[in-house]
Amino acid sequence: MKSLFIFSDDLSRIEFSTDHLFKPVRARNTLDLCERYGLLDGDAAKVIPPSPSTPEQLVLFHDEAYIDTLLRIDSGEFDMEMFGRGLGTEENPVFQHLLDWCLQTTGATLTGMEALDAGEADMAFNPLGGFHHAGRGGAEGFCYVNDVGVAVEMLLARGRRVAVVDLDAHHGNGVQDGFYEDDRVLTISLHESGRTLYPWTGDETQIGEGRGRGFNVNVPLEVKTDDEVYLMAFHEIVPPLLEAFSADIIISEIGADTIISDPLTHLRLTNNGYKEAVTTLGGLARKFLALGAGGYDIFRTSRCWTLAWAGLNGLEPKDEFAGLVGGMMFGPEMEMGSLYDRPLLTKGPDREKAEEEARRVIRSIKETVFPLLGAKG
């Protein structure tokens, strides 16, 4: 298998603001770990730089007026109208070279997509991609430009069947809204319920409309969902739907904010469950494009992405002790010396509630969506 790790050191140095939770340095940390654990050895895996996208490519998904707004910001302009497009907020501050950031990160995703579509690689990973909240006309939730939407639009124009499987803890509302009436795209999102987490959307009853009815699937999960409950929902829903849809390419948000230590979310996965879900998903794909998305415990996110890269390439990390970098590189000191978390399961009423809710959602999806797509199970 040929795989690409798409990386730019310049992009990894960007800061939205000094106290912003989104930290691109996660990409640099992940590459360091992959190198230290021997996960980039050999000829099959390559690290390549991204090629920037163009404003014209962004318009494939976004309103032209919104891209014009980003162009004006890059020229030093700012006015109150821009707040209406989600710009200049605490979540989405404006900064120097904002448009260049958007073009570079989207370009990194398109670099991977193009290599996959041309048969030059089987799997590609862009750790600085997956901005699934951005809408056609504005920024939202740390996301200025929806690179997922741009890549999907390009693939659809070529007649490809595309599945977007979102494992980030936050519902991918921008992607859902963009393709809600389209039967050429299957979108599946496993996320913390919108009752307890931004963007407050992603109910299991949102299954698409018109031609897209049945092609939008949401699996909202209860607070304190652990590895076992998460994987139960994943295996019950994702493989049967992907088999029925038969996508040419799977694009996946592999955000690591499902992890128990994430400061923004309330799920309780360890990176053991995370790795199983991502690796299983990659094994179901003809071509697989992985995008970093969320993850706000910086060091644990880097560990998750390193394990994901290893699993997707069929590798096991070599000499774990060679990777000890600094005091907290791999998380809590009790876990030092291993990339893997210790098993941790939710118990008592919290576990019962999480499992009961997951089973209810599974039943709902199997009753409403499975017959529409001809999925088995």
| Domains of the chain: residue spans and CATH | 3-177+248-342 (3.40.800.20)
Q: Read off the pLDDT of residues 144-197 as tens digits, 9 standing for 90 and up.
A: 999 999 999 999 999 999 999 999 999 999 999 999 999 999 999 999 999 999
Whose structure tokens read 């509630």? 353
Q: Residue range 347-375: average pLDDT?
A: 97
Does the pLDDT of residue 242 top 90, yes or no? yes
pLDDT at 331: 44
Mean pLDDT of the chain: 92
Q: What pLDDT score was predicted for residue 346? A: 95
Residue 117 has pLDDT above 60, yes or no: yes
Burial class (CB in 10 A: 0-12, 13-18, 19+), 349: exposed
Helical ranges in the chain per DSSP H = 9-12, 25-36, 55-58, 64-74, 98-117, 147-157, 173-178, 227-245, 271-283, 298-312, 348-368, 370-373
User: Average pLDDT, stretch 76-80?
Assistant: 78
Question: Which one, of 176, 192, 180, lies nearest residue 361 by Cα?
Answer: 192
Average pLDDT of span 313-328: 64
Q: What is the pLDDT of residue 319?
A: 61
222: tokens are 């209860």
Peptide bond into 199 cis (omega under 30): yes
What angle, 0 to 180 degrees and rounded to 10, lies between the N-to-C axes of helices 271-283 and 298-312?
Answer: 30
How high is the pLDDT of residue 375? 96
Arithmetic mean of pLDDT, 310-314? 95
- pLDDT digit string, tens, across residues 82-103: 888 989 898 888 887 889 999 9
Which of the four pLDDT bands, split at 50, 70 and 90, describes residue 19? confident
| pLDDT in the model for residue 221 | 98
**Taking a C-beta distance cutoff of 8 angstroms, is the pair 128, 292 a contact?**
yes
pLDDT band at 334 (very low <50, low <70, confident <90, very high): very low
Residue-level pLDDT at 321: 54
Mean pLDDT of 197-220: 97
Residues 121 and 38: their CA atoms lie apart, in Å, by 20
Does 137 score more than 90 pLDDT? yes
| Local structure of 95: helix, strand or coil | coil
Going across the sheet that includes 185-192, the strands are: 45-48, 3-6, 123-126, 288-291, 249-253, 162-166, 185-192, 216-221
Question: What is the percentage of the chain residues whose pLDDT exceeds 70?
Answer: 95
Q: Is residue 51 over pLDDT 90? A: yes
pLDDT tens by residue, 289-306:
999 999 999 999 999 999
Catalytic residue among 62, 132, 133, 191: 133
> CA angle at residue 112 from 107 to 115, to 5 degrees?
120
Average pLDDT over every residue of 53-68: 95
The pLDDT value recorded for residue 367 is 97
Question: Out of 19-23, 273-277, 299-303, 372-376, which region has the weakest mean confidence (pLDDT)?
Answer: 19-23
Note the pTM of the prediction, 2 decimals: 0.94
pLDDT > 50? residue 327:
no
For the question of residue 235 being annotated catalytic, the response is no
d(Cα 71, Cα 238) in Å, to the nearest integer? 39
Lowest mean pLDDT among 23-32, 120-129, 173-182, 269-278: 23-32
